[in-house]
Amino acid sequence: MRVLVTGGAGFIGANFVQQTVRERPDAEVTVLDALTYAGDRGSLASVAERVTLVEGSITDVALVDRLVGESDVVVHFAAESHNDNSLDDPSPFVQTNLVGTFTLLEAVRKHGTRFHHISTDEVYGDLELDDPAKFTPETPYNPSSPYSSTKAGSDLLVRAWVRSFGVAATISNCSNNYGPYQHVEKFIPRQITNLIDGLRPRLYGAGLNVRDWIHVEDHNAAVWTIIDKGRIGETYLIGADGERNNLEVVRTLLELFGREPDDFDHVADRPGHDLRYAIDATRLRDELGWAPRYTEFKDGLAATIDWYRANEAWWRPAKAATEAKYARTGQ
């Protein structure tokens, strides 16, 4: 099977490519990645001999048409992915997340190629802290940020191309991922690398916002399950019942580093900060038989800390510039 992975040099995409090479010896993998600040050739170094990396944008019509024409399935991870960046400058989010997804959809329509679209639970907006509800595939879209609204728009494009043009696509909306190769701008790697440097974690606002954490390998196993067994046109929610507020996550990290529980700073809150995300993954579990393997969050975090300790050469080059950017907003 010829697999085209967009955004395969980013966090989740690179883990997906590594997992695919490990577990699917028959897969021929091509990665299309623009190698933005978030993409790193080094994330694919361990599988370089099995993977063709094409540096280019998903908005490049001719390039996308050629690569899609040479593929059996397209797994679409490429995106601008960071909420804080989308508040600073939404423009690349519109280009990549909306125009890029449109460009891919036109190519898979032309070539009749199977398409899997990777999306986020943030398209549903947020939940109250005391609400027993979780997001389901029927929850109405209500995105809050430029990031989540462009992801929501990209999902709706996929749904329309399925219905209007018969494109063979599936969609997955996953909760917050953690694990190796995540950029140091994101919450967990930022705090881990601060702690490695002897600095204090930085908590937005009171830290009561809840995220539903899932290990990146569980997310990617679910993506393959959907490609193999999912119903065309269907949306699957991916989550591992990992709800925790940000303060709890920081306290767990401090404990794992042997630091005092209050050894962190409260910093400026994110404008429009979503309160809580929570995924009901019943359809994926019951219909497709998927289940997460990383069920102990603390163990997954400890393994992630070990990875960042062992791979300083991977994250160190981005750390100072990322912190300088945060300093501009007092975060």
Residues classed as catalytic: 121-122, 147
The yes or no reply on residue 211 touching ligand TDX (CB under 6 A) is: yes
Q: Which does 100 bind (CB under 5 to 8 A by kind): ligand TDX, ligand NAD, none?
A: ligand NAD
CB of 28 to ligand TDX, least distance (A): 28
CA distances (Å), 95 to each of 10, 57, 86, 144, 160, in order? 17, 10, 12, 18, 19
CB atoms within 10 A of CB 177: 21
Q: Does 203 bind ligand TDX (CB under 6 A)?
A: yes
Q: What is the DSSP string of 272-284?
A: T---B--B--HHH
- Which of ligand TDX, ligand NAD, none does 209 bind, CB closer than 5 to 8 A by kind? ligand TDX
- Residue of 30, 71, 97, 120 that binds ligand TDX (CB under 6 A): 120
Residue at 188: amino acid letter: I
Q: Shortest approach of ligand NAD to residue 263 CB, angstroms? A: 26
Q: Which residues, at least 6 apart from 312, have a Cβ–Cβ distance to it below 8 Å?
A: 196
Determine contact, residues 128/145, Cβ cutoff 8 Å.
no
Task: Write down how long the chain is.
Answer: 331
Rounded Cα distance between 94 and 311, Å, is 33
For residue 327, which amino acid is it? A
Segment (H or E) for 21: helix 11-23
220 binds, among ligand TDX, ligand NAD, none (CB under 5 to 8 A by kind): none
Token representation of residue 122: 């943030």
CB of 238 to ligand NAD, least distance (A): 8
83 binds, among ligand NAD, ligand TDX, none (CB under 5 to 8 A by kind): ligand TDX
Size of the site for ligand TDX (CB under 6 A): 16
Interface with ligand TDX, residue 122, by CB under 6 A? yes
- 187 part of the interface to ligand TDX, by CB under 6 A: yes
Binding status of residue 202 toward ligand TDX by CB under 6 A? yes
Tokens coding 175:
């909760």
> Hey, what are 265's tokens?
């700073």
As to burial, measured by CB atoms within 10 angstroms (0-12 exposed, 13-18 middle, 19+ buried), residue 88 is: exposed
Q: Which does 5 bind (CB under 5 to 8 A by kind): ligand NAD, ligand TDX, none?
A: none
Per CB under 6 A, does 170 bind ligand TDX? no
Q: Are 267 and 221 in contact (CB under 8 A)?
A: no
Round to whole Å and give the CA distance between 186 and 279. Answer: 20
Check binding of 176 to ligand TDX (CB under 6 A): yes
Q: How far apart are CA 173 and CA 238, in angstroms?
A: 6
Q: Which of 41, 50, 82, 111 binds ligand TDX (CB under 6 A)?
A: 82
- Residue 304, contacted partner among ligand TDX, ligand NAD, none, CB below 5-8 A by kind: none
Q: Please report, as a single letter, which amino acid is at residue 314.
A: W
With CB under 6 A as the contact rule, which of the stretches 53-61, 64-72, 185-193, 278-286 interacts with ligand TDX?
185-193
Tell me how crowded residue 140 is: count the other CB atoms within 10 A of its CB: 7
Q: Is 275 helix (H, G, I), strand (E, B) or coil?
A: coil
Nearer to ligand TDX, 58 or 67 (CB): 58
Would you tell me which residues interact with ligand NAD (CB under 6 A)? Answer: 6-7, 9-13, 32-36, 38-39, 57-59, 77-81, 96, 100, 118, 120, 151, 174, 176-177, 183
Residues 243-272, one symbol each (x = binds ligand TDX by CB under 6 A, - = not), give ---x-----------------------x--
Nearer to ligand NAD (CB atom), residue 79 or residue 162: 79
Token pair 């900060």 is found at 273
Residues that bind ligand TDX (CB under 6 A): 81-83, 120, 122, 176, 186-187, 190, 202-204, 209, 211, 246, 270
